Chains A and B, each alone.
Chain A
Amino acid sequence: GESVGLHLPTLSVQEGDNSIINCAYSNSASDYFIWYKQESGKGPQFIIDIRSNMDKRQGQRVTVLLNKTVKHLSLQIAATQPGDSAVYFCAENPNSGTYKYIFGTGTRLKVLA
């Protein structure tokens, strides 16, 4: 299988519990943020996004919180399921006038049965 994420921080959560994954972003000018999910050996998948004029956004079982004061982003997953096991990473658009994003290194989520 794919060895991506071999040395990443790991969050282990019991099935059915809620998960919280954190991300510190780097640029105070960033105006758009995305959470991606990446399963082993696959490409990242979009989960949820949020713009800088919002503090919170909810999707299906997922919520993203944005704290611009401390440049912090979090992803909350409700009722974590085995299929949620993956690497999660955040991306920020630094509003630099180009389409370039800055990507976090990611957190591995392990769901315990």
Chain B
Amino acid sequence: DGGITQSPKYLFRKEGQNVTLSCEQNLNHDAMYWYRQDPGQGLRLIYYSQIVNDFQKGDIAEGYSVSREKKESFPLTVTSAQKNPTAFYLCASSMGSDEQFFGPGTRLTVL
């Protein structure tokens, strides 16, 4: 089955720790995205990548980092510099500017 996967589903982080969220797609999409979702708000773009080995900051990139070494993979690291990281994180992919397909999400909680 073609699709986009995220792991883990739930993640707990202690203050001061960096954590990495995984996102993999086998849809052969060139573009991938990371969003943060908080209650009562629309999706906010953290980072996006339109091509391998290239990525751009979104609207709320501070405290996050990404890499795009392979077309299929776009991991997101939440660093200790992110002051309020508790949220639901969604990864998406698309072929160009066509519709974005979303993964199942990772719920990150800071302890």
When C-beta atoms are compared, the residue in chain B nearest to A46 turns out to be B99
Given contact pairs A99-B94, A99-B97, A101-B100, enumerate 4 new A-B contacts (beta carbons under 8 Å): A2-B107, A98-B97, A99-B31, A100-B45
Stretch at the interface among A12-20, A64-72, A78-86, A102-110: A102-110
Residues of B within 8 A of A (CB): 6, 31, 33, 35, 37-43, 45, 48, 50, 56, 58, 88, 90, 94, 96-97, 99-105, 107
Give A1-38 interface residues, CB cut-off 8 Å to B.
2-8, 32, 34, 36
Q: How far is the CB of A6 from chain B (nearest CB, A)?
A: 4
Give A47-78 interface residues, CB cut-off 8 Å to B.
49
Q: How far is the CB of B76 from chain A (nearest CB, A)?
A: 15
Contact of B40 with A44 in the complex, beta carbons under 8 Å = no
From known contacts A100-B48, A100-B58, infer whether A46 and B101 are also in contact, taking CB-CB under 8 Å.
yes
Cβ of B41: which chain A residues have Cβ within 8 Å of it?
Answer: 105
Report how far A101 CA is from B33 CA in the complex, Å: 10
- Total interface residues in chain A, CB < 8 Å: 29
Q: How far is the CB of A85 from chain B (nearest CB, A)?
A: 18
Contact of B94 with A6 in the complex, beta carbons under 8 Å = no
Cβ of A101: which chain B residues have Cβ within 8 Å of it?
Answer: 100
A-B contact pairs, 11 of them (CB 8 A): A2-B107, A4-B38, A7-B39, A34-B99, A41-B105, A42-B104, A43-B6, A46-B101, A100-B58, A102-B42, A105-B42
